[in-house]
Chain A
Amino acid sequence: KQEVTQIPAALSVPEGENLVLNCSFTDSAIYNLQWFRQDPGKGLTSLLLIQSSQREQTSGRLNASLDKSSGRSTLYIAASQPGDSATYLCAVLIQGAQKLVFGQGTRLTINP
């Protein structure tokens, strides 16, 4: 059974810092891995999608990497801003059942 773990559960950093969020998964049989952002009381916004054959994807200040063999992904946020404060979720699309399996999320707070 696929399990996705995100560390840390919560993170608070000063504005301007670069930071890394971690995601690990137990089964490498995935189609892709997706990073999402969720603001309180809202739905999910897709940030980046990395196909299983890819190593990284970049969008603006965000960079996501994928090491499928070790079951790890990281989301790097450069020059953090207070508007980046949200919960960040990673999810893997598992082969066979074709379902997204989510981690528990990292609650990020950027302090002005």
Chain B
Amino acid sequence: GAVVSQHPSWVICKSGTSVKIECRSLDFQATTMFWYRQFPKQSLMLMATSNEGSKATYEQGVEKDKFLINHASLTLSTLTVTSAHPEDSSFYICSARRAGPLANTEAFFGQGTRLTVV
């Protein structure tokens, strides 16, 4: 399967600071990447769809000024949590899909980033 690399795997930051998480597709080009948030023992919640070269599309209820998404190249998307607060502590996962017919293209996921805001 394809490889999606997410960095860092965990980060601890102070309240009020910003944190950047990177998501890279290592062996394919991804015109679209996705950012999810996962609370303990819950499923994944889609936060936003990241489109290469254009603005991200945010899901309802997700603050676009708090969660800044940049998709500057076909292999890299970044999520920046700005002015982080303890309630932003969570597990963040990115996903990427190869270009091609939607029916037969798998979504591949990064290994996730555990963010703890203290």
Contact = CB atoms under 8 A, between A and B. Distances in A.
Nearest to B4: A43
Interface size class of B (residues with CB under 8 A): 20 to 34
Interface residues of A, number: 24
Interface string B78-118: 00000000000001010100000011101111111010000
B91 to A, nearest CB: 8
Contacts, number: 55
A32 B95 contact: no
A32 B93 contact: no
A93 B43 CA distance: 15
A-B CB proximity, top 6 nearest = A44-B109, A43-B111, A31-B102, A43-B112, A43-B109, A51-B103
Interface of A: 31-32, 34, 36, 41-46, 49, 51-53, 89, 91, 93, 98-100, 102-105
